[in-house]
């Protein structure tokens, strides 16, 4: 007979996941012991599979800097201000309509399929890579900061939530149009405060639409590597803008925290954050991000998932792609500690709650994907059964991400100050 878990063994499972501290406080964040900086550099901790496949944090190259905010003083000349009043210049609208290169999100409703017409209220300027030797676009083709901000608002409020188009197609469209927003911004002499406002809204929108893409949707409709690159470029542009400012921007702490959460487990990202001014690091959004990063590095899964439950919506979007890997590590730790030749069991609802899964079915899928046997509503830990093949099964992330909107629209989250957005309660 397989051994059944008694009530006290739930406490044992919680202790295995790091939920019970023995002589070590976990209420405050501390610098991870596994991370050491010195003259010889940083010692790299294990990264998630996504980090192995794609560089999660890197400084952009020279070609990528063309899409970052530009400092007029560095160029030796004064850059013009944009004069285009529309989301897409009329000349580009006419050209793309003539060449039949309009996206279906940009055409007039009810238009004929063989001759689509551009809707000026929906057409958004597409990204065009600056070519060597090509002259700068005239001010009439550049959108000033107020128009750029209105463009981001439109993408967040009217496009991001479209139900008649797949999330992958929406993300691909929005990422391209936001890249054009960053390029327009870089070609003008824009004040750092105005530039930061536009870049923050653009990055928040991009994080949200990318988080809504399911892995099975990316085939053909969107390139996940390109989307990740666009997010990293967005962080690079914004953080360079912050570095040029003389004083912290109102939402700087929140977006520096988003940077760390998106690059969770990256030594380079943590080092960048630890080099920020102490007053900025003391802000609650950054303190929370540092606590999440510490729990992730230290494999304190109980604290990690308690913290993940409390994150606001944007922070949850930023950390979403690390959740599957964290769940896998937690399940592997339980398997190593509890597996016996006869098999010990643990209730599936314990797995569901501890790993913040969306229902018992997700708990079953997770256990079965790792070779574990199920006995009704319990998972059986038999020695030698646990296995890891491929990526962890994708979840719906409703508890940890989707539910965090709490009645707000994405436009509210993108455009509002961070402190005005609903925050869940503090972790226990």
Lowest-confidence pick of 55-59, 80-84, 273-277, 314-318: 55-59
* Together in a domain, 292 and 213: no
3-state secondary structure of 375: strand
Cβ-based neighbours of 403, under 8 Å, separated by 6 or more? none
Predicted confidence (pLDDT) per residue in 28-46, tens digit = 444 443 333 333 333 334 4
**CA–CA separation, 233 vs 262, rounded Å?**
13
pLDDT of residue 390: 84
Q: Which two tokens stand for residue 175?
A: 């990422």
pLDDT band at 428 (very low <50, low <70, confident <90, very high): very low
Last residue of a domain, one of 197, 232, 247: 247
* Together in a domain, 179 and 56: yes
pLDDT band at 113 (very low <50, low <70, confident <90, very high): low
Burial tier of 210 (Cβ tally within 10 Å: 0-12, 13-18, 19+): buried
With CA atoms as reference, report the closest residue to 252 among 263, 243, 264. Answer: 243
298 domain-assigned: yes
117 domain-assigned: no
Q: Which domain holds residue 407?
A: 253-428
* Together in a domain, 221 and 275: no
* Together in a domain, 367 and 240: no
* Together in a domain, 222 and 351: no
21 domain-assigned: no
Give me the numbers of helices (H) and strands (E) for the chain, helices first please. 17, 5
Provide the CATH number for the domain around residue 426: 1.25.40.990
3-state secondary structure of 37: strand
* Together in a domain, 220 and 346: no
Last residue of a domain, one of 185, 213, 247: 247
* Together in a domain, 266 and 142: no
Last residue of a domain, one of 247, 280, 297: 247
96 domain-assigned: no
45 domain-assigned: no
* Together in a domain, 55 and 182: yes
* Together in a domain, 190 and 332: no
List Cα–Cα distances, 30 to 36, 47, 289, 290, 298, in angstroms: 13, 20, 12, 8, 11
pLDDT of residue 2: 44
* Together in a domain, 178 and 306: no
* Together in a domain, 384 and 408: yes
Burial tier of 338 (Cβ tally within 10 Å: 0-12, 13-18, 19+): buried
Match 């609650």 to its residue by tokens: 284
Phi, psi of 347 (to 5 degrees): -60, 140
pLDDT of residue 131: 73
Predicted confidence (pLDDT) per residue in 163-210, tens digit = 899 999 999 999 999 999 999 999 998 999 999 999 999 999 999 999
14 domain-assigned: no
31 domain-assigned: no
Contact 364, 375 (CB under 8 A): no
Beta strands in 280-427 (DSSP E): 344-347, 373-375, 378-381
* Together in a domain, 315 and 409: yes
**CA–CA separation, 38 vs 142, rounded Å?**
46
Q: Report how many domains make up the chain.
A: 2
349 domain-assigned: yes
What average pLDDT does range 304-321 have in this prediction?
97
């Amino acid at each position: 007979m397989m051994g059944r878990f008694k009530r006290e063994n739930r406490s044992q499972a919680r202790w295995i996941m790091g939920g019970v501290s023995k002589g070590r406080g976990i209420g405050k964040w501390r610098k991870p012991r596994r991370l050491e900086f010195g003259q010889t550099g940083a010692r790299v901790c294990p990264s998630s599979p996504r980090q192995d496949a794609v560089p999660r944090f890197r400084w952009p190259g020279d070609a990528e800097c063309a899409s970052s905010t530009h400092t007029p003083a560095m160029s030796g000349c004064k850059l013009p201000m944009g004069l285009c009043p529309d989301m897409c210049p009329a000349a580009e609208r006419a050209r793309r309509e003539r060449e039949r290169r309009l996206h279906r999100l940009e055409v007039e409703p009810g238009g004929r399929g063989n001759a689509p017409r551009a809707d000026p209220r929906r057409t958004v300027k597409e990204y065009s890579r600056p070519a060597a030797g090509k002259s700068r676009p005239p001010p009439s083709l550049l959108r000033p900061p107020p128009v750029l901000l209105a463009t981001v608002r439109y993408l967040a409020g009217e496009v991001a939530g479209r139900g008649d188009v797949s999330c992958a197609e929406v993300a691909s469209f929005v990422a391209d149009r936001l890249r054009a927003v960053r390029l327009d911004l870089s070609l003008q002499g824009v004040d750092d405060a105005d530039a930061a406002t536009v870049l923050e809204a653009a990055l928040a929108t991009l994080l949200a639409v990318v988080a809504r893409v399911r892995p099975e949707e990316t085939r053909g409709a969107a390139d996940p590597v390109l989307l990740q690159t666009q997010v990293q470029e967005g962080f690079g542009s914004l953080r360079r803008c912050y570095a040029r400012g003389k004083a912290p921007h109102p939402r700087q702490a929140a977006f520096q925290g988003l940077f760390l959460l998106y690059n969770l487990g990256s030594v380079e990202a943590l080092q960048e954050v630890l080099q920020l001014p102490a007053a900025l690091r003391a802000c609650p959004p950054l303190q929370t991000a540092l606590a999440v990063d510490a729990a992730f590095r230290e494999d304190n899964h109980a604290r990690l998932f308690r913290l993940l439950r409390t994150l606001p919506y944007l922070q949850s979007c930023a950390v979403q792609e690390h959740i599957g890997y964290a769940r896998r590590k937690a399940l592997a730790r339980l398997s190593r500690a509890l597996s016996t030749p006869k098999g010990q069991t643990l209730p599936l609802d314990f797995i569901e709650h501890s790993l913040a899964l969306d229902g018992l079915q997700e708990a079953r899928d997770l256990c079965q994907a790792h070779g574990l046997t199920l006995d009704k509503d319990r998972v059986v830990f038999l020695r030698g059964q646990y296995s890891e093949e491929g990526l962890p099964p994708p979840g719906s992330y409703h508890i940890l991400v989707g539910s965090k909107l709490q009645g707000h629209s994405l436009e509210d989250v993108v455009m509002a100050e961070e402190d005005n957005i609903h925050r869940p309660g503090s972790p226990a």
